[in-house]
A and B are shown apart, each in its own frame.
Chain A
Amino acid sequence: MTNPLPFFQDQSKDAARAFRIALKAMAMPGKIQNFQVIDGLPTPLSIAGATLILVFCDFNTKIFLGETFRNKNVEDWINFYTGAKISGDKNVDFAVGHIEELLPFHEFPIGTDEYPDRSANIVIENASKDVKSFSLNGPGIKETLHVELPEKIIERESAISFPLGVDIFLAKENFVMGLPRTTMVET
């Protein structure tokens, strides 16, 4: 990996811009935000998935990867750019994968009564596959939103008992949508 960085040319400024997009995604659930396009990513990592890893992960972070993401290219890339530890189990801060590789969500940390923040951020890749229409309500949502989400997203219920829960980013190409634990998802 001696080539110049194909992305985050100016790490500090690019990370700041990307963080703001991620913040907006979580602050306004159900609305699609888009990250700056970057290339040179190891398959099957999306731009959104990779950007979220770059923004939030470092050597203090443990990452769980779904089956199809567990390849040398992805692992080397994460290791090289973030130093994050790839974990074999689900006791992690961060997870990336296709939805069926991440279920059941309640196996990830959901926080404790006193520290509900000690919970995982989950990135669901390829989030436009097998979708179905859901209505969303909760903080950050002005009026009920109707959006297409992976139909298995409903299984997130088992990992949420507010204030405990997992927080989800839905990723596809350079698009991202936030689904914090506060969002009520109904069919």
Chain B
Amino acid sequence: MSNSEEDFNFAYLDEQTKRMIRRALIKAICIPGYQVPFASREMPMPYGWGTGGVQVTAACLQETDVLKVIDQGSDDTTNAVSIRKFFERVAGVKTTENTGKASVIQTRHRIPEQVLSEDQILVYQVPIPEPLRFLEPRETETRVMHALEEYGLMHVKLYEDISINGEISTAYAYPVKVNDRYIMDPSPTPKFDNPKMNFCSAIQLFGAGREQRIYAVPPYTKVISLDFEDYPFEASRAEKTCEICGATNTYLDEVVIDDKGTRMFSCSDSDYCNSQKS
């Protein structure tokens, strides 16, 4: 039998690689927020295209899955479409744009607006997994800081932010503390999405390809955004209404809609937006 499709193992990766990733995933679930090292493989797409997320998805996918892939909330970007097509081809899974119908959702930069369920897995593509990286570039040192729970510098950084800007200006990749222990980078999601991680019903898995790290948050786990008593965390969003569906509670993108530069606010989560207008 000779068919180009048959040349791939199910879900692209060989069994041994998947086993290695699966061992890392189990440890990640057992130690919420801790970054498990793994031996990242070359994938048929460049770094920055979510190779970490793709490997996690490949290690998780089963035949009966329905996969959704979003990039900045949209199912239609080149990145989302190419990852979706890749898994249609190598795993033969069904795909969907409907959040509620997906069993596995791979995402870059957003958490869907629709509340997720216990039967869903959310896989995040992570460029920089280490939340302490900008305070301490050396991996050996950040590992010690996590081991000793030495997180004072992180609070100092956020507080400096307040003294300079009058508020915490970090808008993306806003650090969280998981299960009262590890400080974790939620990937470059807007901080508006942070509260969705707390006590989420779905399994949340994070894959960083270039940095070779996997981490996870099990369902029903405490995920708290770092803040201060006098400057409590705020899940901010543009104080506007979606001009397509009228939603007032979603994360909005400001998009240019014509060549005169006219701008419009609309839901970043395109599936949610479509489901609201009727």
A residues touching B (Cβ–Cβ < 8 Å)?
A: 10-13, 15-17, 19-20, 22-24, 26-28, 55-58, 60, 93, 113-117, 119, 121, 139-142, 162-163, 165, 167, 180-182
Contact = CB atoms under 8 A, between A and B. Distances in A.
B31 A56 contact: no
Nearest to A111: B31
B32 to A, nearest CB: 5
Contacts of A20: 60, 62
Nearest to B205: A23
In the A-B complex, the 9 residue pairs with the smallest Cβ-Cβ separation, listed nearest first, are A12-B10, A113-B147, A180-B30, A117-B27, A140-B218, A139-B221, A16-B62, A167-B30, A27-B218
Which among A15, A19, A56 has the highest number of chain B CB atoms within 10 Å?
A19
A13 B221 CA distance: 30
Contact of B203 (A11, A27, A117, A165): A27
A121 B26 contact: yes
B220 A141 contact: yes
A12 B15 contact: yes
Which among B24, B143, B182, B218 has the highest number of chain A CB atoms within 10 Å?
B218
A56 B63 contact: no
A127 B218 CA distance: 24
B262 interface: no
Interface in B182-201: 182, 201
Contacts of A27: 29, 203, 218-219
A117 B179 contact: no
Contact of A12 (B11, B24, B25, B221): B11
B218 A116 contact: no
Contacts, number: 115
A182 B62 contact: no
Given A22-B26, A27-B29, A182-B32, 9 more contacts: A17-B63, A19-B22, A23-B25, A26-B29, A55-B19, A115-B143, A117-B27, A117-B37, A139-B219
Contacts of B64: 17
A139 B63 contact: no
A113 B150 CA distance: 13
B63 A16 contact: yes
A86 to B, nearest CB: 18
Contacts of A28: 118, 218-219
A87 to B, nearest CB: 17
Interface string B1-43: 0000000011100011011101111111111101011000000
Given A182-B30, A182-B32, A56 B23 contact: yes
B257 interface: no
Contact of B34 (A58, A117, A167): A117
Contact of B221 (A57, A140, A163): A140
Nearest to B148: A113
B26 A139 contact: no
Contact of B10 (A16, A56, A141, A181): A16
B22 A163 contact: no
Contacts of A167: 26-27, 30
B276 to A, nearest CB: 28
Nearest to B217: A139
A10 B15 CA distance: 12
Nearest to A55: B22
B80 to A, nearest CB: 23
B32 A16 contact: no
